[in-house]
């Protein structure tokens, strides 16, 4: 095998590793270069919706993911007063052919990395290689690297380069140097994990409140983490606030003092929210930013994938899902044809608009849109009976609308088979 024929993957995050597994399955040679000197299980929780699990099942990973994460049973919606608005089943409990899995990003990353090592060899992911530029000519690409400390490393040659290097993508900047700065929605997200006894169904994802007064999303991501049967529970807070820094750093830690005042009176019979937030292992801050969809991703023998291609607000569990679906889409196309620059253009044609629609939809509608409707109709005050505020039919319609927009309506997924 001539290494010059390889696909060069830049970035061994969720998208890069899933793409690697899809290439391996399709029999396409590749190498991965990652800037981090060590791959650690970073981040907190995320949700893999049925369309993501469908793709990961194709890669033979469903069992491993279920063993690490929690199969989400239901979504439950509550007002900031703890009043129940609506619950609905999820994943296979809702009749999908695939489960929905809530999981620590580090566990998802480890499952993908272990599978790459098992199937392709432990040396397949080359660490400490930070891409700084990509050049190309008629026959291939030359990817330039340094070690993150300014020392230049040997350039690497391949047939094409796919940038899976996340929200600060070097290739994206190279091809779109005048792109506008990220767009801030006006809300900031705080994310953390707390060790807790199971709450509600033991596999519920609960949404509470709206972002003006404070919004909380909380769900378990690991079962039975100790002898008392506690779970690792992920929580996310969204709060309106001015933010002129917009630091897109997934590892930026902050203190509970940033937001706890908004939640001091959130004490319900099924959860003492301030106690949960105070007991967090660690807390991270991330601004709710995205970027307008790009006019193109592919230039000759190079293209973008995952967050490098379509950074979206971390809402609605679609960032990881869309990155995984990108890779699952491109790999068999590369296996089927030799004219790879044209294949990269076809991949762009299949995925650019589809993912751009998700970026834009994330601005318009959130999974908990029903809570906004209830907030507006009640003026944020407690209600006597939810039926006085919104009918059951309307609640169902809001949820179905969101599923369509986010790309995981059950019928649409089956049609895609």
Footprint of ligand FAD on this chain (CB under 6 A)? 10-16, 33-36, 42-44, 46, 105, 130-131, 164-166, 168, 170, 191, 250-251, 306-308, 314, 319-320, 323
Pick the closer one to ligand FAD by CB: 185 or 390.
185
Tokens standing for residue 268? 């319900």
Pick the closer one to ligand FAD by CB: 249 or 272.
249
Pick the closer one to ligand FAD by CB: 209 or 306.
306
Q: Which CA distances in Å does 125 have to 211, 305, 354?
A: 40, 17, 29
Name residues whose C-beta falls within 8 Å of residue 326's C-beta, 6 or more positions apart in sequence: 15, 19, 305, 306, 309, 347, 351, 355
Rounded Cα gap, residues 39 and 18, in angstroms = 15
Q: Torsion-angle region of residue 246: left (phi > 0), alpha (psi -120 to 50) or beta?
A: left
Do residues 159 and 4 lie in contact, with contact meaning Cβ atoms separated by under 8 Å? Answer: yes
Name the burial class of residue 28, with classes exposed (0-12), middle (13-18) and buried (19+) by CB atoms within 10 angstroms of its CB: buried
Tokens standing for residue 413? 């997924």
Name residues whose C-beta falls within 8 Å of residue 94's C-beta, 6 or more positions apart in sequence: 88, 410
Rounded Cα gap, residues 43 and 235, in angstroms = 12
Pick the closer one to ligand FAD by CB: 132 or 410.
132
- Smallest distance from the beta carbon of 323 to ligand FAD, in angstroms? 4
User: What angle, 0 to 180 degrees and rounded to 10, lies between the N-to-C axes of helices 369-378 and 392-406?
Assistant: 140
Pick the closer one to ligand FAD by CB: 13 or 91.
13
Name the burial class of residue 5, with classes exposed (0-12), middle (13-18) and buried (19+) by CB atoms within 10 angstroms of its CB: middle
Q: Which residue is nearest to ligand FAD (CB)?
A: 13
- Smallest distance from the beta carbon of 114 to ligand FAD, in angstroms? 16
Tokens standing for residue 94? 């809702």
Pick the closer one to ligand FAD by CB: 83 or 317.
317
The SS3 call for residue 212 is coil
Residue whose pair of structure tokens reads 């690792």 in the numeric block:
232
Tokens standing for residue 292? 């307008």
Do residues 209 and 79 lie in contact, with contact meaning Cβ atoms separated by under 8 Å? Answer: yes
Q: Return the closest-CA partner of residue 203 out of 314, 98, 55, 47.
A: 47
- Smallest distance from the beta carbon of 153 to ligand FAD, in angstroms? 11
Q: Which CA distances in Å does 31 have to 10, 37, 43, 120, 357?
A: 9, 16, 25, 10, 31
- Smallest distance from the beta carbon of 252 to ligand FAD, in angstroms? 10
β-strands 74-78, 84-89: how paired?
antiparallel
Q: Torsion-angle region of residue 229: left (phi > 0), alpha (psi -120 to 50) or beta?
A: left
């Amino acid at each position: 095998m001539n290494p010059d024929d390889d696909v060069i993957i830049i970035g061994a995050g969720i998208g890069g590793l899933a793409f690697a597994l899809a290439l391996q399955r399709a029999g396409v040679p590749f190498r991965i270069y990652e800037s981090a000197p060590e791959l650690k299980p970073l981040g907190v929780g995320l949700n893999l919706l049925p369309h993501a699990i469908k793709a990961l099942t194709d890669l033979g990973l469903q069992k491993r993911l279920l063993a690490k994460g929690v199969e989400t049973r239901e979504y439950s919606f509550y007002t900031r007063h703890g009043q129940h608005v609506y619950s609905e089943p999820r994943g296979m409990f809702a009749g999908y052919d695939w489960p929905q899995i809530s999981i620590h990003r580090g566990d998802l990353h480890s499952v993908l990395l272990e599978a790459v090592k098992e199937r392709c060899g432990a040396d397949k992911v080359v660490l400490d290689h930070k891409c700084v530029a990509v050049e190309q000519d008629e026959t291939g690409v030359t990817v330039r690297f340094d070690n993150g400390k300014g020392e230049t490393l040997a350039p690497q040659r391949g047939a094409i380069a796919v940038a899976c290097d996340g929200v600060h993508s070097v290739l994206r900047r190279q091809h779109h140097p005048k792109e506008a700065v990220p767009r801030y929605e006006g809300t900031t997200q705080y994310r953390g994990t707390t060790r807790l006894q199971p709450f509600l169904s033991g596999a519920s994802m609960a949404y509470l409140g709206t972002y003006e007064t404070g919004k909380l999303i909380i769900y378990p991501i690991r079962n039975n983490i100790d002898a008392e049967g506690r779970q690792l529970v992920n929580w996310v807070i969204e709060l309106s606030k001015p933010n002129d820094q917009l630091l897109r750093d997934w590892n930026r830690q902050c203190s509970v003092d940033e937001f706890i005042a908004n939640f001091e009176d959130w004490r319900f019979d099924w959860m003492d929210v301030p106690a949960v937030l105070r007991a967090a292992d660690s807390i991270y801050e991330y601004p709710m930013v995205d970027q307008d969809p790009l006019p193109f991703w592919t230039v000759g023998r190079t293209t973008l994938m995952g967050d490098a291609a379509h950074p979206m607000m971390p809402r609605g569990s679609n960032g990881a899902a869309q990155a995984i679906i990108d890779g699952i889409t491109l790999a068999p196309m590369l296996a089927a044809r030799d004219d790879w620059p044209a294949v990269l253009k076809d991949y762009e044609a299949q995925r650019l608009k589809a993912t751009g629609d998700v970026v834009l939809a994330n601005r318009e509608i959130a999974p908990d849109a029903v809570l906004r409707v209830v907030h507006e109709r009640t003026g944020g005050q407690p209600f006597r009976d939810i039926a006085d505020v919104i009918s059951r039919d309307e609640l169902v319609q809001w949820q179905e609308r969101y599923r369509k927009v986010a790309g995981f309506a059950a019928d649409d997924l089956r049609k895609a088979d």
